[in-house]
Amino acid sequence: MRSIGIRVSPSEVNYCVAQKDADELSILVQDKVIVPKALDIPSQLAYIRTNLNSIFIEYGIIKAGIRVHEGSTRNLNIDRIYLEGVIQELLADCSVHKYFLGRLASISKLIEEPVSEVKKFIDGESNLIPLEGIAKSAKEARESIITAVAASELEIEVIS
């Protein structure tokens, strides 16, 4: 089954697509969609929604996770909140069967690792997920990767 981890910032949406077969997990793609500054906010939201929907269809995404803001109002960015909201709306209306909103505690619980280890991975100080060059990548990219891994652990009811 394929999962996607999403990390939103005001200017881009980082995503990682992972595939889990039995107990083997592989990262298929890690990339980002840039929010076009030339568009007004509603058009930016539509652009991101359309592009992510295409990614969900192309990769056959079944599970998803969005790395969300931890809750401190000091660094709250309304553009990020808008983007996270439109992505949540998309997740409720697409091929994704199950998704979660990922804070450190929920990611940690899904991957069965201590919060401190998840935080070290996000900060580039740990090889929790051994990928070449991961420590040199952007923090947002690492957050999308760990969120995709956590999403792959979501349980889905199989109806026959």
pLDDT bracket for residue 160 (50, 70, 90): very low
Gyration radius of the chain over CA positions:
15
Mean pLDDT to the nearest integer, 79-97: 91
Q: What is the DSSP letter of 35?
A: P
- The pLDDT tens digits for 15-62 are 999 998 887 888 999 999 999 999 999 999 999 999 999 999 999 999
pLDDT at 21: 87
Which residues sit opposite 20 in a β-bridge? 25
- The pLDDT tens digits for 100-112 are 998 999 999 999 9
pLDDT at 137: 83
Helix pair angle (115-122, 139-151), 10° resolution: 140
Mean pLDDT to the nearest integer, 66-78: 78
Mean pLDDT to the nearest integer, 133-146: 86
pLDDT at 2: 93
Class of domain 2-151: alpha beta
Q: What residue segments make up the domains of the chain, in order of their start? A: 2-151
**CA neighbours closer than 13 Å in the CB half-sphere of residue 125:** 6
Residue 27 CB contacts under 8 Å (≥ 6 apart), including other chains: 16, 17, 18, 131, 145, 148
pLDDT bracket for residue 148 (50, 70, 90): very high
CA distance linking residue 5 with residue 14, whole number of Å: 8
